[in-house]
Amino acid sequence: MTAADLRPGVAGRSWPAGLRLVRLHLAGRQVPGALAALAGCAVLLRCALHWHWIQGSGPSAQQLPLLIESAAAMIIAVTTRSPFGEVERATGRWLPWLRLGTTLALTAAAAGMLAAGTVPAHLPGGDLALLRNVAGLVGVGLLSAAVLGGHLSWVGPVGYLGLAEVALTSARTTPWIWPACPPHDHAAALCATLAFTAGTLAITWRGARDTTHE
């Protein structure tokens, strides 16, 4: 038997092994629970719109949606925590790609679920502002995870939420506090995109700081 004869068998075994690796990674990051929590955020947003807890389009009307968007970002950021620490870093070259795929999938799921929760009601700022806010807040959470660890990754979104709430009530706007900016503000969208990109890169290549060795 030659090496060529063995290749089909090896290739056939690598695909189930890859799926098992993805499944274990998602389970270790508690992604199923995160998806359930994100669905809960979408239901809460739908209830808030249905029962008119959110009225008008002024700063006060944006506070509850921003709170829900921040909760979604915190849920995603917490999933960066690895239960294996340094041991996981030695598992191979696929770990960064698993982190990237998980982050992008959860962010897309959060934006999609929350957008679905606004139908058929009208969300202040619309879906464009929702997507901008969620992406930017997720970026803040990921950066917080890279610096403080996955178990403390909620600190970043909570702190940013406080700044955004102050900006909303005081009518002070800056592109770096994007939730207080109009939905079509290009500078605010750019800042949110930069935050998301920086957070994604940090968590992809470095991961959450969850070990005592760091």
Q: 67: which 2 tokens?
A: 């709170």
The mean pLDDT value for 12-20 works out to 64
Helix pair 95-117, 3-28: axis angle to 10 deg: 50
Burial of 85 (0-12, 13-18, 19+ CB in 10 A): middle
**Most confident segment among 52-61, 77-86, 136-145, 168-177:** 136-145
What is the 3-state secondary structure of the chain?
CCHHHHHHHHHHHHHHHHHHHHHHHHHHCCHHHHHHHHHHHHHHHHHHHHCCCCCCCCHHHHHHHHHHHHHHHHHHHHCCCCCCCHHHHCCCCCHHHHHHHHHHHHHHHHHHHHHHHCCCCCCCCHHHHHHHHHHHHHHHHHHHHHHHCHHHCCHHHHHHHHHHHHHHHHCCCCCCCHHHCCCCCHHHHHHHHHHHHHHHHHHHHCCCCCCCCC
pLDDT reported for residue 85: 59
**Average pLDDT across the chain, whole number:** 85
Domain spans in the chain, listed from the N-terminal domain onward: 3-205
Check pLDDT > 90 for residue 129.
yes
Render pLDDT for 48-67 as a digit per residue (tens, 0 to 9): 998 878 776 667 788 999 99
- Of 110, 109, 114, nearest to 48 by C-alpha is 114
Check pLDDT > 70 for residue 4.
no
Render pLDDT for 157-169 as a digit per residue (tens, 0 to 9): 999 999 999 998 8
Residue type at position 141: G
**Unique residue bearing structure tokens 């829900």:** 68
pLDDT reported for residue 75: 97
Kindly report which listed range (81-90, 118-127, 131-140, 156-165) carries the lowest average pLDDT score: 81-90
